C-alpha cells in the first residue's frame, strides 16, 4: 500500500506542476497575443487538475476512505 500512496502523491505533485506550467503558458499567450500558446496553457491546467484529482483519489482509496 505504501507504493500506491507514494505513486498517488507523485501524481498530485506532478498535476500541480502541470497546472503551474499551464498558467504560465496561458499568461504568456495572453501577453503576446498567441492564441495557440494560450490554448495550450488552458489545456495543461485542465490536465493538471485531472492528474491531481486522480492522485488524490488514489491516496484516499489506499487509506480506506
What are the pLDDT digits (tens) for 4-43?
Answer: 888 999 999 999 999 999 999 999 999 999 999 999 999 9
Radius of gyration over alpha carbons of the chain, in Å?
15
Report how many domains make up the chain.
1
- Note down the domain range covering 18: 2-62
Cβ distance 16 to 48 under 8 Å?
A: yes
pTM confidence score: 0.84
**13 or 64, which is more confident?**
13
Cβ distance 38 to 26 under 8 Å?
A: yes
Render the burial of 11-26: b for 16+ CB within 10 Å, e for the rest. Answer: bbeebeebbebbeebb
Sole residue written with cell 498558467: 23
Per-residue pLDDT at 65 exceeds 60:
no
Amino acid at each position: 500500500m505504501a507504493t500506491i500512496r507514494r505513486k498517488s502523491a507523485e501524481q498530485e505533485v506532478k498535476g500541480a506542476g502541470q497546472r503551474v506550467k499551464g498558467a504560465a503558458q496561458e499568461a504568456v499567450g495572453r501577453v503576446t497575443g498567441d492564441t495557440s500558446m494560450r490554448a495550450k496553457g488552458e489545456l495543461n491546467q485542465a490536465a493538471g487538475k485531472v492528474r491531481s484529482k486522480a492522485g488524490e483519489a488514489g491516496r484516499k482509496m489506499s487509506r480506506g476512505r
